[in-house]
Structure 1
């Protein structure tokens, strides 16, 4: 884009800046949401709670299934994103 194009599109610069910020915030939120580490940590905590008798087998099985489903969702997202 030449000088004339830059001058003509200059009033749109704040809009492009806001769009860039929104994209960065969205990306950070997705990175946090699709991070498997907290889910894996919760699985470990769940196993510890079962071993220590703080939860019964039915609650353990239900919660474990939810967490494993979440890990599958994260894995599918990462494959879709190419990483």
Structure 2
């Protein structure tokens, strides 16, 4: 029976491969997005930009809060209530 099911599901194998690849890429992006080193680097870049005069105090606070919110509440993909 395994051979028959393999032959019958062969046409959808490329679709399953694309889905698997998409899931793999999504996992890697989420892992990198929530990595503490990445978050620290982003906060340092915000501080450098503010120190260089590229950001106002309000923009700096908003950018830092966005990074910290991502760290505290990782996006689960669900829309907010």
Same fold (TM over 0.5): yes
The structure richer in helix per residue is 1
Deviations 1:24-83 (A, max 9, x none): 112222222233323323434517x65xxx44xx834641442133222222117x6xxx
Unaligned runs of 5+ residues in structure 1 are none
Indicate the RMSD between aligned Cα atoms, in angstroms: 3.2
Unaligned runs of 5+ residues in structure 2 are 77-81
Higher Cα Rg, which structure: 1
Q: TM-score, normalised by structure 1?
A: 0.58
